[in-house]
Every structure is written in structure tokens, then in C-alpha cells.
Chain A
Amino acid sequence: AQKITQTQPGMFVQEKEAVTLDCTYDTSDQSYGLFWYKQPSSGEMIFLIYQGSYDEQNATEGRYSLNFQKARKSANLVISASQLGDSAMYFCAMREAEYSSASKIIFGSGTRLSIRP
């Protein structure tokens, strides 16, 4: 069965430092997609970045990059030059059967990131 594990319940980071949020996954599918979402205290879920299992390059979106290590089944989120507004809950998610219109998505338990000024 597919599973997403986020082992860091909470993290404190100094402003302007880079931060890595860990995510490991388990799936028997060859084709899948990995996502990161941010949930600020206001509650909305904000899409950050996506990585497909066949993508050879690590995904990047502005200050966000995804360190994808397929053999280790890890998809860590890296935030460069952290800002106070990055304080939020971060969720890693996976969708199996990447090209299927009927695939399910599961989420990890999340990491609460707090940025110190």
C-alpha cells in the first residue's frame, strides 16, 4: 500500500537560512507523482511544487526545489533563503498511477515549520 512519511513534526529555522523538509514514500507503482503543499495558519492549502516519477531533473519553483532520490524513495523539499512568511505546515503528498484519471492522492502527516527572525 502506498504511504507517505514525514518524520519531522516540527522545525525551527533562522530567517534567511535554507531548510530541508524530509519526505519518504512507499509505492509499488512505477508511475507516480509527488507534491508539496503549504498550509498557513489561515488554513488554505497552497500548491508549491510537483515531481513526476519519470522526471530526470529535480523540480524547482522559485525558492522551492524538490530533492528527488528515486532509489531511496525520498522527495525532500528545500526552501532557500527562508522568510518569516514561510512559517506554516508543509505536507508531502503522492499520487499513484501518474497518468491515470482515477488515481488517489495520499498525504503525509505534515511538518510544522517555524521561521525565527
Chain B
Amino acid sequence: DSGVTQTPKHLITATGQRVTLRCSPRSGDLSVYWYQQSLDQGLQFLIQYYNGEERAKGNILERFSAQQFPDLHSELNLSSLELGDSALYFCASSLLAGEVDTQYFGPGTRLTVL
């Protein structure tokens, strides 16, 4: 158990809908990362938040947005869903206090868009 929690574990929805994925980082970690893992694209970095602020952006679509709240949990919002958005979405956290540190991953949320 990495200490990172993600809810829900599974999500099935229809095209055009909007969903919210939630992540709670390990206790004490300030940084949260979101990744998408799909069969055709592999593991793709989406976005990073550090202590409530956006710090780095990867291949995140405009239909997707994220935020990190004062209690450091994070939410990833996916809207106008398409079939191709079906994937495993991971959240990871790290301490990131200006040092090299390791990202620990949550169990993931499997999103299926029908």
C-alpha cells in the first residue's frame, strides 16, 4: 500500500458525460501528479500540482482540468468524454520539498466510456 488513495476504483459512463476522479496523497506529500495509461498511448503525464498550485503540464486535453485543494487532495475533471478517454488514470504523490524524491502511485481509477 503506497498510502495514496484514489476514488472511485471503477467508473463507467457514456460519451459526452463529465466525471470527477479524486486523489488523496500520502500524508505529508505536497505534490500530486496525474497520469493516463491507455493501450495505445502508454503512460502519459497529464499535470502536476504542488501545494495547491499548478506546476507542470503534460499532454492534458483542454476538456480535462484538475485542481489541488487546501487539504492537498486533488481532483481530475474530465468532460465531454469520448470513447478514446477510456483508460486507467493514476494519481501519484511526492514530498517535493526542493529535493529529489520519488513518486508513489495510487491504485488507479479505471474509466470506461461507452
Chain A positions within 8 Å of B, measured between CB atoms, are 33, 35, 37, 43-47, 50, 52, 91, 93, 98-99, 101-107, 109-110
Contacts and interface: CB of A to CB of B under 8 A. Distances in A.
Contacts of A52: 100
Contacts of A104: 45, 48, 56, 58
A44 B42 contact: no
Nearest to A52: B100
B107 to A, nearest CB: 5
- For B100, B104, B110, which residue has the most chain A Cβ atoms within 10 angstroms? B100
A102 B56 contact: yes
Contacts of A93: 43
Interface of B: 2, 31, 33, 42-45, 48, 50, 55-56, 58, 88, 90, 92, 96, 98-100, 102-108, 110
A42 B113 CA distance: 21
B88 A43 contact: yes
Contact of B102 (A44, A50, A101, A107): A50
A98 B42 contact: no
Given A101-B55, A106-B45, A107-B43, A44 B107 contact: yes
